[in-house]
Amino acid sequence: MLLPWGCGPGAGGPPGCSSPGRPFTPSQQPHATRCSGDIILERAFSLHKPHSIKDMENTFQLVRNIIPPLSARKHKGQDGRIGVVGGCQEYTGAPYFAAISALKVGADLSHVFCAREAAPVIKAYSPELIVHPILDSPHAVHEVEQWLPRLHALVIGPGLGRDDILLKNVKGILEASKARGIPVVVDADGLWLVAQQPALIQGYQKAILTPNHMEFGRLYEAVLRGPVDSADHHGSVLRLSQALGNVTVVQKGEHDVISDGQQVLTCSQEGSGRRCGGQGDLLSGSLGVLVHWALLAGPEKTNGSSPLLVAAFGACALTRQCNHQAFQKHGRSTTTTDMIAEVGAAFSKLFET
């Protein structure tokens, strides 16, 4: 269940709560607690009007609300045209995993903007992807800009690497995307770029950063000029989000912690003990689609809660469910390819039943 602070049968609420089920005043700041179930919503501060999310059955229902119905009346592209920016000579699997995951979740079209040497390999992985071998071109930013009006969201970073030319071009692509108001999911070496230049993403509230433990520490120290408080995961994610101007941050880990600078959400959907390279790309690709759907649906479908927060929770839960299902079949030998094969069944189990 998803419950606001101080709610639920018999819940006395955390210290300072005026009464069970009632919001805090601005002077009251709750500490971490857990209501019933594994998924919790914390209010960082009650300086804003309380969201009506407390009236919802749980966060899964909010995710279901943003999923567009299938219809024969729609035309190709309406349910999502996603661009993945990444892929170099060394790393061709990551952009493929992100792009194919976007299709598996329900995007109609999935593009990959990669370095020239990566393109033939990515094309060979799947005929379903549209691959552009332009990311290391002197004209890369201009060429990608021509495609931006046709794209609903970008996933920046999978398989990017740290080549100076690629990073320079990605910086220009990110700035062009912001100018057009295109949602961006930033992962992998895209996060390394943001850690070097936090101003690239500062205040852009259509961005979601998806760091793992190491990437989060690097970002946190770059932005807040100090070490992460390892005893306060939720507070650390909240502080980083706020310092970036309420950019949504997803810290991946044993439990995924998500914050938009106002709320903190924890996803504890069961996964497995198996961690395979590439599963973060499954998350970022699926998140690109869900962000588009969430923004298209609007806050009325998320009962006033941040659409990006709901989308991030959905992607985290889906990735964990794919991991769980794949592990049941393959055990220790589970790979990201096995997880991607579970996307359809996992999506149906979580969001369509």
Annotated binding-site positions for ATP: 252-256, 271-280
Task: Select from 115, 222, 224 the least CA-distant residue to 167.
Answer: 115
**Do 103 and 110 contact (CB within 8 A), yes or no?**
yes
For residue 147, give both structure tokens. Answer: 């495609």
**Do 146 and 120 contact (CB within 8 A), yes or no?**
no
CA distance 25 to 45: 8
Positive or negative, the CA dihedral 279, 171, 290, 6 is positive
Which helix (H) or strand (E) segment is 259 a member of?
strand 256-259
**What strands, in cross-sheet order, belong to the sheet with 263-267?**
40-43, 263-267, 256-259, 248-251, 207-209, 184-186, 153-156, 81-85, 109-114, 130-133
Torsion of CA 80, 84, 85, 89, to 10 degrees: -160
For residue 204, give both structure tokens. Answer: 């852009």
Positive or negative, the CA dihedral 153, 158, 159, 164 is positive
Could you list the residues known to form a binding site, using ranges: 159, 212-218, 252-256, 271-281
Could you list the residues known to form a binding site for (6S)-NADPHX, using ranges: 159, 212-218, 281
CA distance 20 to 3: 11
Tell me the residue type at 208: I
CA distance 321 to 164: 37
Task: Select from 225, 264, 218 the least CA-distant residue to 241.
Answer: 264
